[in-house]
Chains A and B, each alone.
Chain A
Amino acid sequence: MSRSTIGYLALLAFGLAAPFFIYPVLVMKVLCFSLFACAFNLLLGYTGLLSFGHAVFFGSAAYVAGHALKVWQLPTLLGLLAGTGAAAALGWVIGSLAIRRQGIYFAMITLALAQMVYFLFLQAPFTGGEDGLQGVPRGSLFGVLDLSDDMNLYYVVLAIFAAAFWLIQRTIHSPFGQILKAIRENEPRAVSLGYDVAKYKLLAFVLSAGLAGLAGATKTLVFKFATLTDAHWHTSGEVVLMTLVGGMGTVFGPLVGATVIVTLQNELADKVGSLVTVIMGSIFVICVLAFRRGIVGESLALYERMIGRR
């Protein structure tokens, strides 16, 4: 067995055992945000596109899934699919506009378009405005497994996360993923090699938006509500922070980053109140100034240096 296989198995074993000694809802929250961050990392870390409006995909999927489950009373899995599909479709619209500009403009455009959708959500009747969409039923899996039980739901969420994580890994290591990396490293050269760069970027954007949507839809299932916070630019900033803290462009970075940030928010929320924003902002500043490779990236660099010295 290779070393990475052992790593994956250990992680899976931990995931399976976690709810017995940690509050399952917290672990599910970590999993949802990890998936969100992994989807974001696919875009930033592997394609070099900084989307500053990713919360809009997370949030719109949360609303659509919530609406599908509560109002249309669809089965749970269909509700998740509806949310994911809606996010991917929105990703196609926003992506095709945003990829018309490069670099820093791309970030500003995604942020602005996300804000536009946020205002639409604020006014639209089906989102419940400031109150959000409350009391979404979790339903059951294939009519057999009752998901209102936290433990049952946990393993479904874990399975969703594992499947999405596997999909992201497959994408990164596929020829498609290699082309994305080529675009990140040197876009003009990728163009000159004959690749339709715009098409690849858009596809990566749609994939990332869809997976972020899956994370948002799953979050609705866990907490039984969807609110404006899910689509707010603060949430977009959070997912950037998670990826940055963990290490962008690394496989496990977003997972580590999401775990650290969610746990930190959970611990700090009662103690310091509104100072949480200050702490998150400070982590941003410190990471950018001194810690740009993130926890996983810096650890890998340290490990390689030690190997080299020996």
Chain B
Amino acid sequence: MSEIFGIPIQAFMGQLMLGLVNGSFYAMLSLGLAVIFGMLNIINFTHGALYMVGAFGAWLGLTYLELGYWQALLLSPICVGIFGIVIERSMLQWLYKLDHLYGLLLTFGLALVLEGLFTNIFGVSGQPYSIPDELSGAFNLGFMFLPKYRAWVIVASLVVCFVTWFVIEKTQLGAYLRAATENPKLTQAFGINVPLMVMLTYGFGAALAGFAGVLAAPAIQVSPLMGSNLIIVVFAVVVIGGMGSILGSILTGIGLGVIEGLTKVFYAEASSTVVFIIMAIVLMIRPAGLFGKEK
């Protein structure tokens, strides 16, 4: 069998893999958004910019400090996480009592600032970042060639998503976190330092975005605008999945990535809009989102 629905299997599987890769990024970013929204009640528009900063962290590390890919994979998310904590302490913490929309507006402004600064310094054209030696090349699966880097992105993001799910749903720390999301005042009354947890949550969400950025750096070119184009699709993913469940965010992200990839095979013109069309359909049928609860 060399064809599926009249499409060469090589092209079909290639787009499927690409869809899985994109889906991994959607999953990691929408997971971060959901975790942050749960704790801070803020839709973090800066998320795309933090993803971009993470990718630039890797590129800067390689260009100026000769830090390799693996060091960048560790250091860049930590730096982005610390940066996130600074943002939370210096700005976001004053907004929790206000209407949700102010959080969105502030993080939107921050995203503009970051994007503008990086554009001003590095220009809008992309910076190439080469795939590390260990991960270049491809596996020959018999019926197709699987680039090693794509396989690595999918595996790494699945592991990170799984660990996040495990920590939040199955550990003591996660139990505090869920309690603080449900009822911060009562949780604080039990002697848990809720503001500290809020701060760490935002830092973790930011680090997750930074990690996704480093993963993305060799797959696409590092450019100041890479985040803002992605974040709007991730918003649609979040609307489709609903932010109630962590597993829901992950599944929706990967699923939509795959659908987008397959759309490229069958009807390429619609590939940039298919996620939004699905969002419109979901809104008509199930307004609360696939995994969401109507409040």
Contacts and interface: CB of A to CB of B under 8 A. Distances in A.
Interface in A88-109: 97-98, 100-101, 103-105, 107-109
Contact of A278 (B116, B235, B236): B116
Interface stretch (B148-156, B193-201, B279-287): B279-287
A277 interface: yes
B94 to A, nearest CB: 6
B119 A277 contact: yes
A284 B100 contact: no
> For this complex, into which size category does the number of interface residues on chain A fall?
35 or more
B284 A108 contact: no
B235 A111 contact: yes
Contact of B273 (A107, A116, A274): A116
A111 B232 contact: yes
Given A108-B239, A113-B276, A119-B272, A281 B109 contact: yes
Interface in B101-123: 101-102, 104-106, 108-117, 119-120
A240 B105 contact: yes
A279 to B, nearest CB: 8
Interface residues of B, number: 42
Contacts of B109: 280-285, 287-288
A116 B277 contact: yes
B100 A104 contact: yes
Nearest to B114: A281
Could you say which of A122, A277, A282 has the most chain B C-beta atoms within 10 Å of its C-beta?
A: A277
Given A274-B119, A284-B105, A284-B109, A108 B283 contact: no
B91 interface: yes
Contact of B105 (A103, A105, A122, A244): A244
A120 B37 CA distance: 30
Contacts of A111: 232, 235
Given A52-B104, A100-B283, A276-B116, 12 more contacts: A97-B280, A101-B283, A107-B104, A108-B238, A112-B233, A240-B105, A273-B120, A274-B119, A278-B113, A281-B112, A284-B112, A289-B91
Interface of A: 50, 52, 97-98, 100-101, 103-105, 107-109, 111-113, 115-116, 119-120, 122-123, 233, 237, 240, 244, 273-285, 287-289, 292
